[in-house]
Structure 1
Amino acid sequence: MWELIREERASLARLVAPLSAEQWATPSLCAEWTVRDVVAHLLMTPAGEPHVRSMVVALVKARGHLWSAGRDVAREYARRPTSELVVELERTAGSRTRPIFVQDANILLDLVVHGQDIAVPLGLDRPVPAAAAVLTLDRIWSMGWPFHARRRLAGVRLRCDLEPGTRGAPQEWEVGGGPEVRGSAAALALLMTGRTAAALPMLHGPGVAGLGARRSLRGS
């Protein structure tokens, strides 16, 4: 798990290092978050932030709205220079530090999904390695809040071909039952976490037609 996390952080650093100032300011797939905000959010985990005190203060200011509080904390962290954000992403790639209220199982999920939140609006390709894809998709499907993927996507079968990996690794991932919805692991991760509008052009199969009416999620 931690080696996959390290690889995702390192590859993300390579992705964002050459971005222009305009690209850093591009709206991500997270509503009200720029690419810069998302990178800052991902950097906060290996830094052990936000601390409980700063999160409580942010929650008070946001009147208890967790999504808005997280956005505001990330924006504050994002004020540092772009070059510093990239260097920190590279330097902390192997870190196992995390805030006390963050579950280890969600760190890889966060990196995979937010990597797409950054890459898709910029028109950049960011394939998800097979091992990271399986752990991430399994985790999203097993969760309730905030995604409720099992409930929202009931009645369709999700399937994806995995990126080539080590010998003996699974070649395909699937879950659910009903008309098939097929796409890359990145596309399914977006769909399952409520980025429906962004995911739809990447999906195909008889189950896709009914997905547009299903509720998307606002948060990140």
Structure 2
Amino acid sequence: MDVDQHWRIIAEQRRAIAHLLTALTPQELDSPSLCEGWRIRDVAAHVALAPQPPGPLGMLREAARARGSFHRLNHDIAVRHADATPDPAADLSAVADSRRLPAVTNYRNIHYDVIVHAQDIARPLGHTIPVDPTASAVAAQRVWTMGWPFWAKRRLRGITLVAEDSTWTAGSGPEVRGTTLDLLLLLTGRPSTVTGPGLAHL
């Protein structure tokens, strides 16, 4: 998958999230996402902030507030943005096609990030945001090989991951099978629908 294909998927997923947000009630926006401690609106804000990050001084202030914790920094920035954004769908739609990046990441990371966060938002509410299996496979391979923050290869050692809707596979040992998207969610520590004898090793 080349750079333009990555960005096409990113834009499609951002627009799909924004479309779903337009149909949610305030109560649903305040309900829990798949990310522990994050509301639906907080995850949406996090996705929208990727192409509009705080400047260097703003990041320094946020880092000081978070006392050096990257996870707390991410969470608190998203919560403040969510609370200050009356229309999260419009906020995300406005930046859907942006290719601007925070200095600390790259488009490959934004690619898997937006795919996973789309599911963080959709699945707890019983909705579906479809993803092309090829795009999910590229995202899964990125997470499998990258180490921090998921350490997927270490956490899932001793099993073979086998996608049922693409050619993606990884690891060795008893099999765990599922859609490529569900395997991606497993890699990133989310609930997922997977089967196989390898489940006993998780």
- Structure-1-length-normalised TM-score: 0.84
Give the Cα–Cα distance (whole angstroms) in 2 for the partners of residues 140 and 32 of structure 1: 22
1:178 and 2:173 aligned? yes
Q: Tell whether 2:199 aligns with 1:204.
A: no
Aligned to 2:129: 126
Unaligned runs of 5+ in 1: 163-170, 212-220
Contact 2:16/2:129 (<8 A) preserved: no
* Amino acid aligned to 2:13: E
AA of the residue aligned to 1:206: P
In the alignment, which residue of structure 2 is the partner of 1:42? 47
Aligned mates of 2:25, 2:104 — CA distance in 1 = 34
1:63 corresponds to: 67
Indicate the residue corresponding to 1:21 in structure 2.
26
* 2:199 alignment partner AA: V
Residue 133 of structure 2 contacts residue 181 of structure 2 at CA under 8 Å; is this kept in 1? no
Say how many residue pairs are matched. Answer: 197
Percentage of pairs with the same residue = 40
Tell me which amino acid in the other structure corresponds to 2:195: H
Q: Distance in 2 between matches of 1:64 and 1:91?
A: 31
Matches within 5 A, 1:187-202: 187-195=182-190, 198-199=191-192, 202=193
1:10 to 15, 30, 35: 15
Task: Read off the aligned partner of 1:192 and give its amino acid letter.
Answer: L
1:62 and 1:6 map into 2 onto residues whose CA distance is 30
Runs of at least 5 residues in structure 2 that lack an aligned partner in the other structure: 1-5
Going by fraction, where is helix more abundant, 1 or 2? 2
TM-score, length of structure 2 as denominator length = 0.92
The equivalences for 1:13-162 within 5 A come to: 13-47=18-52, 49-83=53-87, 85-162=88-165
Contact 1:155 1:177 in 2 (8 A): yes
